[in-house]
Amino acid sequence: MNLTIDRDGLVAGIRYIASPNFDERPASMPIDLVVIHSISLPPGEFGGAGIVDLFTNRLDPAAHPYYCTIATLKVSAHFLVRRDGELIQFVPCEKRAWHAGESTWRGRARCNDYSVGIELEGADDQPFTDVQYEALGRLVAAVCSHYKVAEVVGHSDIAPQRKTDPGPCFDWPRFRELVKSA
Protein backbone atom coordinates (compact mmCIF):
# COMPACT_ATOMS: atom_id res chain seq x y z
CA MET A 1 0.00 0.00 0.00
CA ASN A 2 1.46 3.33 -1.08
CA LEU A 3 1.24 6.17 1.39
CA THR A 4 0.49 9.74 0.39
CA ILE A 5 1.11 13.00 2.20
CA ASP A 6 -1.24 15.96 1.81
CA ARG A 7 -0.23 19.62 1.63
CA ASP A 8 -0.48 19.97 5.43
CA GLY A 9 1.94 17.09 5.93
CA LEU A 10 -0.58 14.47 7.05
CA VAL A 11 -0.38 10.90 5.79
CA ALA A 12 -3.68 9.59 4.49
CA GLY A 13 -5.11 6.46 6.06
CA ILE A 14 -3.02 6.24 9.23
CA ARG A 15 -3.97 7.00 12.81
CA TYR A 16 -3.43 10.60 13.88
CA ILE A 17 -3.02 11.49 17.57
CA ALA A 18 -2.27 15.19 17.95
CA SER A 19 0.73 16.09 20.08
CA PRO A 20 0.93 19.59 21.55
CA ASN A 21 4.72 19.38 21.36
CA PHE A 22 5.49 21.14 18.09
CA ASP A 23 5.82 24.60 16.65
CA GLU A 24 6.34 26.31 13.32
CA ARG A 25 9.39 25.57 11.20
CA PRO A 26 11.54 28.57 10.24
CA ALA A 27 10.15 30.39 7.21
CA SER A 28 11.27 28.94 3.86
CA MET A 29 13.07 26.05 5.56
CA PRO A 30 13.00 23.01 3.26
CA ILE A 31 12.48 19.56 4.76
CA ASP A 32 15.47 17.58 3.54
CA LEU A 33 16.37 15.12 6.31
CA VAL A 34 14.68 12.13 7.94
CA VAL A 35 15.83 11.05 11.40
CA ILE A 36 15.18 7.49 12.60
CA HIS A 37 14.85 7.00 16.36
CA SER A 38 13.88 4.15 18.65
CA ILE A 39 11.93 4.27 21.89
CA SER A 40 10.30 1.91 24.36
CA LEU A 41 8.36 2.86 27.47
CA PRO A 42 8.95 1.55 29.99
CA PRO A 43 12.47 0.79 28.70
CA GLY A 44 12.62 -2.62 27.05
CA GLU A 45 8.83 -3.09 27.10
CA PHE A 46 6.60 -2.86 24.05
CA GLY A 47 2.93 -2.37 23.27
CA GLY A 48 1.83 -0.12 26.11
CA ALA A 49 0.50 3.42 26.12
CA GLY A 50 3.72 5.01 27.41
CA ILE A 51 5.00 6.40 24.11
CA VAL A 52 1.66 7.93 23.14
CA ASP A 53 1.26 9.32 26.66
CA LEU A 54 4.74 10.86 26.57
CA PHE A 55 4.16 12.53 23.20
CA THR A 56 0.77 13.89 24.35
CA ASN A 57 1.93 15.08 27.81
CA ARG A 58 -0.24 12.52 29.63
CA LEU A 59 2.50 10.27 31.05
CA ASP A 60 1.63 9.34 34.63
CA PRO A 61 4.82 9.53 36.74
CA ALA A 62 3.31 7.04 39.19
CA ALA A 63 2.68 4.37 36.54
CA HIS A 64 6.32 3.20 36.44
CA PRO A 65 9.45 4.24 38.36
CA TYR A 66 11.18 5.36 35.14
CA TYR A 67 8.30 7.66 34.21
CA CYS A 68 8.98 10.08 37.07
CA THR A 69 12.34 10.88 35.39
CA ILE A 70 10.75 11.83 32.04
CA ALA A 71 7.13 12.83 32.75
CA THR A 72 7.85 16.57 32.47
CA LEU A 73 9.61 16.32 29.09
CA LYS A 74 7.92 18.05 26.18
CA VAL A 75 8.88 15.85 23.21
CA SER A 76 7.29 14.42 20.10
CA ALA A 77 8.01 12.87 16.75
CA HIS A 78 6.16 13.13 13.49
CA PHE A 79 5.57 9.37 13.42
CA LEU A 80 5.74 6.18 15.47
CA VAL A 81 6.09 2.73 13.92
CA ARG A 82 4.80 0.13 16.39
CA ARG A 83 6.20 -3.41 16.64
CA ASP A 84 3.15 -4.71 14.74
CA GLY A 85 3.73 -2.23 11.88
CA GLU A 86 1.01 0.22 12.91
CA LEU A 87 1.83 3.78 11.87
CA ILE A 88 0.78 6.67 14.09
CA GLN A 89 1.29 10.33 13.23
CA PHE A 90 1.63 12.90 16.03
CA VAL A 91 2.71 16.06 14.22
CA PRO A 92 2.07 17.15 10.61
CA CYS A 93 5.29 17.06 8.59
CA GLU A 94 4.88 20.75 7.79
CA LYS A 95 5.34 21.54 11.50
CA ARG A 96 8.48 21.18 13.62
CA ALA A 97 8.24 18.19 15.97
CA TRP A 98 10.51 18.17 19.01
CA HIS A 99 12.40 14.92 18.40
CA ALA A 100 16.08 15.66 17.81
CA GLY A 101 17.08 17.96 20.67
CA GLU A 102 20.52 19.49 20.44
CA SER A 103 21.72 18.18 17.09
CA THR A 104 23.87 18.86 14.04
CA TRP A 105 24.05 17.31 10.58
CA ARG A 106 26.73 18.23 8.03
CA GLY A 107 27.49 21.48 9.85
CA ARG A 108 23.83 22.50 10.19
CA ALA A 109 22.53 22.80 13.74
CA ARG A 110 18.93 22.43 14.96
CA CYS A 111 17.92 19.36 12.97
CA ASN A 112 14.29 19.72 14.11
CA ASP A 113 14.08 22.77 11.82
CA TYR A 114 14.54 20.74 8.61
CA SER A 115 13.83 17.10 9.44
CA VAL A 116 11.01 14.60 9.85
CA GLY A 117 11.41 12.44 12.95
CA ILE A 118 10.28 8.81 12.96
CA GLU A 119 10.31 6.69 16.12
CA LEU A 120 10.49 2.92 15.93
CA GLU A 121 9.07 1.12 18.94
CA GLY A 122 12.15 -0.76 20.03
CA ALA A 123 15.44 -0.77 21.87
CA ASP A 124 19.07 -0.53 20.77
CA ASP A 125 19.80 -4.11 21.80
CA GLN A 126 16.85 -5.87 20.16
CA PRO A 127 16.05 -6.52 16.50
CA PHE A 128 13.17 -4.67 14.93
CA THR A 129 10.29 -6.65 13.39
CA ASP A 130 9.77 -7.47 9.72
CA VAL A 131 6.49 -5.52 9.64
CA GLN A 132 8.22 -2.51 11.18
CA TYR A 133 10.80 -2.47 8.41
CA GLU A 134 8.07 -2.80 5.78
CA ALA A 135 5.98 0.03 7.28
CA LEU A 136 9.05 2.22 7.79
CA GLY A 137 10.16 1.64 4.19
CA ARG A 138 6.76 2.70 2.85
CA LEU A 139 6.63 5.73 5.16
CA VAL A 140 10.11 6.97 4.33
CA ALA A 141 9.47 6.44 0.60
CA ALA A 142 6.37 8.65 0.91
CA VAL A 143 8.25 11.34 2.83
CA CYS A 144 11.11 11.27 0.32
CA SER A 145 8.76 11.54 -2.65
CA HIS A 146 6.78 14.42 -1.11
CA TYR A 147 9.79 16.39 0.14
CA LYS A 148 13.26 16.77 -1.33
CA VAL A 149 14.93 14.55 1.27
CA ALA A 150 18.68 14.36 0.78
CA GLU A 151 19.49 11.87 3.54
CA VAL A 152 18.04 9.49 6.11
CA VAL A 153 20.08 9.18 9.31
CA GLY A 154 19.85 7.83 12.82
CA HIS A 155 19.47 9.90 15.96
CA SER A 156 22.97 8.72 16.85
CA ASP A 157 24.29 10.40 13.68
CA ILE A 158 22.98 13.85 14.56
CA ALA A 159 23.64 13.69 18.33
CA PRO A 160 26.50 11.20 18.70
CA GLN A 161 27.56 12.37 22.15
CA ARG A 162 24.04 11.94 23.57
CA LYS A 163 22.17 9.29 21.61
CA THR A 164 22.68 5.71 20.38
CA ASP A 165 19.38 5.01 18.62
CA PRO A 166 18.20 3.35 16.52
CA GLY A 167 21.16 1.23 17.61
CA PRO A 168 23.33 -1.57 16.26
CA CYS A 169 20.37 -3.91 15.70
CA PHE A 170 18.89 -1.59 13.06
CA ASP A 171 19.55 -3.09 9.61
CA TRP A 172 20.37 -0.07 7.44
CA PRO A 173 20.96 -2.02 4.18
CA ARG A 174 17.64 -3.87 4.56
CA PHE A 175 15.84 -0.60 5.32
CA ARG A 176 17.35 1.16 2.30
CA GLU A 177 16.28 -1.67 -0.01
CA LEU A 178 12.72 -1.49 1.30
CA VAL A 179 12.60 2.28 0.68
CA LYS A 180 13.78 1.74 -2.90
CA SER A 181 11.21 -0.96 -3.57
CA ALA A 182 8.27 0.90 -1.97
Instruction: Quickly list DSSP for 55-83.
Output: HTT---TTSSGGGGGTTT-----SEEE-T
Catalytic residue annotation: 119
User: For the segment 111-121, what is each residue's pLDDT rounded down to a tens digit?
Assistant: 999 999 999 99
pLDDT-based confidence at residue 1 (cuts at 50, 70, 90):
confident
With CA atoms as reference, report the closest residue to 41 among 19, 14, 70, 78: 70
Find out if CATH 3.10.129.10 is the number for domain 15-181. Answer: no
What whole-number distance in Å separates Cα of residue 103 and Cα of residue 41?
A: 23
pLDDT-based confidence at residue 38 (cuts at 50, 70, 90):
very high
User: For the segment 96-154, what is each residue's pLDDT rounded down to a tens digit?
Assistant: 999 999 999 999 999 999 999 999 999 999 999 999 999 999 999 999 999 999 999 99
